[in-house]
Amino acid sequence: EAQVTQNPRYLITVTGKKLTVTCSQNMNHEYMSWYRQDPGLGLRQIYYSMNVEVTDKGDVPEGYKVSRKEKRNFPLILESPSPNQTSLYFCATGTGRYEQYFGPGTRLTVT
């Protein structure tokens, strides 16, 4: 079964404590990306990756890092989380401009 998985699904943490949200896909897609969803602001792209070792900034990359060492995995790293990073995060993967699939989401609260 084609899947995009994210972990954890829910996380409450404190300001400054480094965290990683994992994303994994089993569809052998080259393209992966991260979005955050906020009320009133909609969905905004954080980072994307065209292939292994190829990543680039999206619209709101500040405070985030990513890595792409394997095709199937694309973790999102918050080195020093702040309350304004409280959000719902989605990983997406796909064949590019023809279709993209989203993970189930990670709800992050930073206090």
The residues of the shown chain that bind another protein, judged by CB under 8 A, are 31, 33, 35, 42-43, 45, 48, 50, 56, 58-59, 90, 92, 94, 96-105
User: For residues 12 and 14, which CB has a smaller minimum distance to another protein in the complex?
Assistant: 12
User: For residues 69 and 99, which CB has a smaller minimum distance to another protein in the complex?
Assistant: 99
- Using left for φ > 0, alpha for ψ between -120 and 50, and beta otherwise, residue 33 falls in beta
Structural contact between residues 7 and 22, judged by C-beta atoms closer than 8 angstroms? yes
Q: Give least dist CB 97 to another protein, A.
A: 4
Q: Give least dist CB 98 to another protein, A.
A: 6
Pairing of strands 19-25, 4-7: antiparallel
User: For residues 78 and 92, which CB has a smaller minimum distance to another protein in the complex?
Assistant: 92
Q: Give least dist CB 39 to another protein, A.
A: 10
Query: Which residues have CB under 8 Å from 74's CB, separation 6+?
Result: 23, 24, 25, 32, 33, 34, 49, 66, 67, 68, 91, 93
User: For residues 13 and 45, which CB has a smaller minimum distance to another protein in the complex?
Assistant: 45
